[in-house]
C-alpha cells in the first residue's frame, strides 16, 4: 500500500490505520512517513476531517492516483465539490466533517468526543485521523482495515480512558473500534464481467470489531488479548469500479445500564414526566414538524386552499398525526349520513405523503397537475395520513381510527375506505383493518400495500447495531423534506442514527419480525387486502445510477438480499392476492409502470359509486400467496 506521503503533525499519533485488500498480505513492519505499504496508495491525515480538505487532497492527487481512469473521476469531483459547498454553508456537514465541527453535544467534551445526555447509552471518540485512498478495480473484492502494530496496548488504553465521558466514570462501559468508510463513486460495474458505468454516488459503510475493553467504575479490563485488540481486522466488501475511499476510525462507548429497583423506576417516571412537561419527547421524529410545515404549504397551493396555521401544525405534531385532504372532492366532503367512498394514503418511515407518493406529485403542483399520472386519486375523495413514524404502531393506528371517524365516517352507516400504503404504512394498514371493521361493520374496507413489512424486517435491528448509512438517510430525508432540512436537523438525524445503538425508536422497533409476530398473534392477513413485494436485482432493474435508492442498498451490502432492499419479499408479498413488482427497489414501486397499471386496474373499480359494498369476511387464511407476476 504505497503511501503518498503523510501529513502527520509534529505530535505522535495515538491511533493509525492500515489499509489493504484481503487478497494482499498485510505489511507487518512499522509504517513511517512516506514508507510504501504495498500496492494501494494511501494518504493518512492526522487532523480533523473536513469536506474542504478531502476535496483539496483529491484534486492534488487525482492525476497520480487515477492516471488510467481520469475520465471516471468526474462524478467523484462533483460529489466532493457539493459536500464542500454545503459544509461551508452549514459551517460543518454532519456525516462528513469531523463531528466536533457540528455536534452540539460535543460542547465541553474532550476534543473529537461526544458528550452524552442523561439517558444516552452511546458515546464516541473520533480521533484526529482519517485515511484517503483510491479504489480502481475491475473485479469486486474485499477491503481489509486495521490498526498497525505500531499502536501499543498502553497507548490505546490511555486514549480510551482519556475520552471516556466524565459522567460515565462510575458506570460499566464497553468499548469497541469502528471504522467508518465513505465511498465516493465515479463509475461502477454491476458485476465483474460488465464495463464501468459513469455515476456520481456516495455510500457509507461501517466495519465493527469485537469489543476490546470493558470499563467498570473507571477500571479498564481487556476483553481479548492485547495484541489482537490493538490490531482488529475489519472487512468491507467492494464492487468493481472507480472511487475514492475515506476511512475514519471511531472508538464507540456503550453504557451498560444497571438494573433499576423500585425507587429507581419511580425516579425515572418522574424524570419522564418532567421531560414531557418541558416538551422534550425522545420518541418523536425531529423532522416531523418541519416536514409538515413545508408540505402543508405545498398542499395548500396544489389544492387552492389556505395553508394550515403554525398553531394547527404544532397541534398535529403534538398528536403525532394529521388526516388531511389530498383532492378537491375530499375538500368538499363533510361527515354525514350518506354513503361515500374514500382513499387514505399511508406513507412509510421518515417520510410523508408528498414524498412517499411523489411519482404522481410534481414539484410545482397546481389543482390541474395534482396526481398527474394517476387521475383516479384526483377524482376521488383522497386523504393523506401524515404520521410520526417514531412513535408506536398502536399510537399510529389509534390516531388513524379517530381521524377517520372525525373527518370521514361521521354518522354514515355504510361506505367504503381503501387504504393505500407504502413501506411501514403497510403495517399500520394491516393492523388497523380489524379495528376499523369492528367499529364500523357496515363499511367496506380494503388495503393495498407496497413493500409493507407484514412479517417484519430486521433493517432497524441492524440500525441498532450501528449502521453508518447517513448519506443514504440524508438523501432520502432531504427528498422527503423538500428543502426544509438544515444543518441542525441533519445533525439531529445523525445523532439519532448513532443513538440507535442503544435505543431504536418505538415506531421502528414495532416492525422488527419478533414484534410483528407478537402483535399478529398468529392471525392471518385481514380480508380484502392486496400486497405488492419485490426482489430487487441491479442487473434486472433500470440503470442503477438513475435510481434514488439503489446505491444505498448496494453500498450497505444489502439489508435484504432477497427483497426490495429494505423489506424481504417473503414479508411484503403475502396473502392470496399477492403481486410481484420485481425488480423495483423499495422507494420505486409507484415509478414502475406495470405495478402502477396493476394498482389502477384494482383500485378504479372500488372508487365507482355503483360498485356494491359487501360485508367483509373476517380474515384470509392462506399463508402461501398465489403470486401474480408482473
Residue 151 has pLDDT above 70, yes or no: no
- Quick one: the chain helix, strand, coil %, rounded to 5? 35, 20, 45
Q: Does the residue 559 lie in any domain?
A: yes
pLDDT, residue 439, reads 95
pLDDT, residue 403, reads 96
Q: Does 249 share its domain with 295? A: no
202-206, 570-574, 583-587: range with lowest mean pLDDT: 202-206
| Pairwise pLDDT comparison (71 vs 495), residue with the higher score | 71
139-143, 220-224, 399-403: range with lowest mean pLDDT: 139-143
In this prediction, residue 262 has a pLDDT band, given cuts at 50, 70 and 90, of low
The mean pLDDT of the chain is 78
Q: Does 156 share its domain with 205? A: yes
pLDDT, residue 559, reads 42
Full residue range of the structural domain in which residue 183 is found: 18-256
Q: Tell me 484's DSSP state.
A: -
CA atoms within 13 A on the CB side of 76: 31
Q: Cβ of 521: how many Cβ atoms within 10 Å?
A: 6
Q: Does 344 share its domain with 227? A: no
Alpha carbons 605 and 615: distance in angstroms, whole number: 17
Query: 296-309 pLDDT, tens per residue?
Result: 999 999 999 998 99
pLDDT, residue 385, reads 98
For 354-359, which contacts have Cβ atoms below 8 Å and span 24 or more sequence positions? 354/295, 354/298, 354/299, 354/384, 354/480, 354/482, 355/479, 355/480, 355/481, 355/482, 356/422, 356/423, 356/425, 356/480, 357/422, 357/590, 358/479, 358/590, 359/590, 359/591, 359/596
Q: Does 527 share its domain with 609? A: yes
* Residue at which a domain ends, from 206, 237, 256: 256
32-41, 360-369, 434-443, 498-507: range with lowest mean pLDDT: 32-41
pLDDT, residue 256, reads 83
Q: Does 210 share its domain with 337? A: no
In this prediction, residue 483 has a pLDDT band, given cuts at 50, 70 and 90, of low
Dihedral sign (CA 284, 465, 454, 565): positive
Q: Does the residue 468 lie in any domain?
A: no
pLDDT, residue 467, reads 45
CA 73 to chain centre: 27
pLDDT, residue 425, reads 96
In this prediction, residue 106 has a pLDDT band, given cuts at 50, 70 and 90, of low
Average pLDDT over every residue of 160-175:
89
| Total domains present in the chain | 2
Report the SS3 class of residue 296.
helix
| Pairwise pLDDT comparison (163 vs 561), residue with the higher score | 163
Q: Does 179 share its domain with 57? A: yes
Residue 615 has pLDDT above 50, yes or no: no
Q: Does the residue 203 lie in any domain?
A: yes
pLDDT, residue 55, reads 96
Q: Does the residue 440 lie in any domain?
A: yes
CB-count exposure of residue 597 (10 Å: 0-12, 13-18, 19+):
exposed
Q: Does 396 share its domain with 250? A: no
Report the SS3 class of residue 627.
strand
| Pairwise pLDDT comparison (513 vs 477), residue with the higher score | 513
* Residue at which a domain ends, from 239, 256, 273: 256
Q: Does 444 share its domain with 353? A: yes
* Residue at which a domain ends, from 209, 237, 256: 256
Query: 57-66 pLDDT, tens per residue?
Result: 999 999 999 9
Q: Which of 1-5, 238-242, 439-443 has the highest mean pLDDT?
A: 439-443
Instruction: Extract the C-alpha cell encoding 315.
Output: 397541534
| Pairwise pLDDT comparison (470 vs 204), residue with the higher score | 204
Residue 606: CATH number of its domain: 3.40.50
Residue recorded with cell 409507484: 590
- How many contiguous H segments (helices) and E segments (strands) does the chain have? 20, 19
| Pairwise pLDDT comparison (273 vs 134), residue with the higher score | 134
Query: 185-219 pLDDT, tens per residue?
Result: 898 887 778 888 888 777 776 666 678 889 998 89
Alpha carbons 511 and 392: distance in angstroms, whole number: 9
Q: Does the residue 210 lie in any domain?
A: yes
Average pLDDT over every residue of 41-58:
91
Q: Tell me 433's DSSP state.
A: H
Q: Does the residue 275 lie in any domain?
A: no
Q: Does 49 share its domain with 170? A: yes
Q: Does 44 share its domain with 155? A: yes
Report the SS3 class of residue 187.
strand
Alpha carbons 174 and 255: distance in angstroms, whole number: 7
Percent of the chain with pLDDT over 70: 70
13-43 in b/e burial notation, b at 16+ Cβ within 10 A? bbbbbbbbbeeeebbeeebeeeeebbebbbb
pLDDT, residue 584, reads 84
| Pairwise pLDDT comparison (473 vs 188), residue with the higher score | 188
- What is the pTM for the complete model shown? 0.70
Contact yes or no for 383/341 (Cβ under 8 A)? no
Q: Does 195 share its domain with 105? A: yes
pLDDT, residue 555, reads 43
Residue 29 has pLDDT above 50, yes or no: no
Q: Does the residue 488 lie in any domain?
A: no
Residue 548 has pLDDT above 50, yes or no: no
Q: Does the residue 391 lie in any domain?
A: yes
Q: Tell me 39's DSSP state.
A: S
188-202, 365-379, 567-581: range with lowest mean pLDDT: 188-202
Q: Does 252 share its domain with 295? A: no
Average pLDDT over every residue of 328-348:
92
406-410, 507-511, 516-520: range with lowest mean pLDDT: 507-511
Amino acid at each position: 500500500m504505497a503511501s503518498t506521503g503523510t501529513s502527520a503533525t509534529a505530535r505522535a499519533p495515538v491511533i493509525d490505520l492500515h489499509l489493504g485488500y484481503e487478497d494482499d498480505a498485510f505489511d507487518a513492519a512499522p509504517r513511517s512517513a512516506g514508507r510504501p505499504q504495498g500496492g494501494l496508495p494511501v494518504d493518512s491525515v492526522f487532523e480533523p476531517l473536513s469536506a474542504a480538505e478531502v476535496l483539496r487532497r483529491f484534486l492534488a492527487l487525482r492525476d497520480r492516483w487515477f492516471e488510467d481512469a481520469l475520465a471516471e473521476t468526474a462524478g467523484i469531483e462533483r460529489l466532493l465539490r457539493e459536500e464542500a459547498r454545503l459544509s461551508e454553508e452549514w459551517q460543518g456537514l454532519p456525516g462528513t466533517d469531523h463531528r466536533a465541527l457540528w455536534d452540539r453535544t460535543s460542547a465541553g467534551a474532550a476534543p473529537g468526543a461526544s458528550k452524552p445526555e442523561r439517558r444516552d447509552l452511546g458515546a464516541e471518540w473520533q480521533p484526529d485521523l482519517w485515511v484517503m485512498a483510491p479504489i480502481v478495480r475491475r473485479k469486486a473484492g474485499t477491503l481489509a482495515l486495521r490498526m498497525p502494530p505500531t499502536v501499543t496496548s498502553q497507548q490505546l488504553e490511555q486514549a480510551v480512558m482519556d475520552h471516556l465521558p466524565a459522567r460515565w466514570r462510575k458506570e460499566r462501559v464497553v468499548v469497541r473500534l469502528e471504522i467508518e468508510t465513505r465511498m465516493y463513486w465515479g463509475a461502477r460495474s454491476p458485476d465483474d464481467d460488465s464495463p464501468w458505468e459513469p455515476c456520481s454516488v456516495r455510500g457509507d459503510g461501517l466495519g465493527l470489531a469485537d469489543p476490546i475493553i470493558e470499563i467498570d467504575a473507571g477500571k479498564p479490563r481487556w476483553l481479548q488479548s492485547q495484541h489482537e485488540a490493538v490490531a482488529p481486522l475489519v472487512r468491507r466488501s467492494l464492487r468493481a469500479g472507480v472511487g475514492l475511499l475515506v476511512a475514519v476510525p471511531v472508538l464507540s462507548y456503550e453504557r451498560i445500564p444497571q438494573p433499576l429497583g423500585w425507587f429507581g423506576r419511580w425516579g425515572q417516571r418522574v424524570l419522564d414526566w418532567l421531560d414531557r412537561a418541558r416538551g422534550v419527547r425522545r420518541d418523536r421524529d425531529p423532522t416531523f414538524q418541519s416536514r409538515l410545515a413545508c408540505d402543508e404549504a405545498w398542499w395548500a397551493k396544489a389544492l387552492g386552499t389556505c395553508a394550515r396555521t403554525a398553531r394547527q401544525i404544532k397541534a398535529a405534531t403534538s398528536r403525532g398525526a394529521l388526516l388531511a385532504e389530498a383532492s378537491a372532492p375530499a375538500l368538499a366532503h363533510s361527515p354525514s349520513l350518506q354513503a361515500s367512498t374514500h382513499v387514505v394514503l399511508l406513507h412509510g418511515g421518515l417520510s410523508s405523503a408528498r414524498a412517499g407518493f411523489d411519482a404522481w406529485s410534481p414539484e410545482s403542483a397546481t389543482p390541474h397537475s395534482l396526481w398527474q399520472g394517476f387521475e383516479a386519486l384526483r377524482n376521488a375523495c383522497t386523504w393523506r395520513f401524515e404520521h410520526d413514524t417514531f412513535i408506536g404502531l398502536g399510537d399510529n393506528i389509534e390516531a388513524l381510527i379517530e381521524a377517520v371517524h372525525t373527518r370521514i365516517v361521521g354518522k354514515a352507516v355504510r361506505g367504503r375506505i381503501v387504504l393505500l400504503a407504502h413501506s411501514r404504512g403497510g403495517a399500520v394498514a394491516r393492523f388497523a383493518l380489524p379495528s376499523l371493521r369492528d367499529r364500523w361493520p357496515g363499511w367496506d374496507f380494503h388495503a393495498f400495500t407496497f413493500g409493507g413489512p407484514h412479517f417484519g424486517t430486521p433493517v432497524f435491528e441492524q440500525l441498532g447495531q450501528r449502521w453508518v448509512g447517513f448519506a443514504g438517510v440524508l438523501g432520502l430525508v432531504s427528498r422527503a423534506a423538500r428543502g426544509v432540512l438544515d444543518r441542525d436537523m441533519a445533525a439531529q438525524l445523525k445523532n439519532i442514527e448513532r443513538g440507535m445503538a442503544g435505543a431504536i425508536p418505538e415506531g421502528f422497533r414495532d416492525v422488527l419480525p419478533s414484534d410483528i409476530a407478537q402483535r399478529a398473534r398468529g392471525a392471518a392477513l385481514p380480508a380484502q387486502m392486496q400486497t405488492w413485494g419485490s426482489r430487487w436485482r441491479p442487473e434486472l432493474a433500470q440503470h442503477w445510477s438513475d435510481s434514488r435508492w439503489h446505491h444505498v442498498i448496494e453500498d450497505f451490502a444489502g439489508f435484504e438480499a432477497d427483497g426490495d432492499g429494505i423489506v424481504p419479499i417473503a414479508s411484503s408479498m403475502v396473502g392470496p392476492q399477492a403481486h410481484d413488482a420485481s425488480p423495483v427497489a423499495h422507494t420505486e414501486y409507484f415509478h414502475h409502470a406495470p405495478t402502477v397499471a396493476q394498482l389502477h386496474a384494482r383500485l378504479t373499480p372500488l372508487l365507482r359509486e355503483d360498485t356494491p359494498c359487501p360485508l367483509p369476511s373476517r380474515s384470509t387464511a392462506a399463508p402461501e400467496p398465489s403470486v401474480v407476476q408482473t
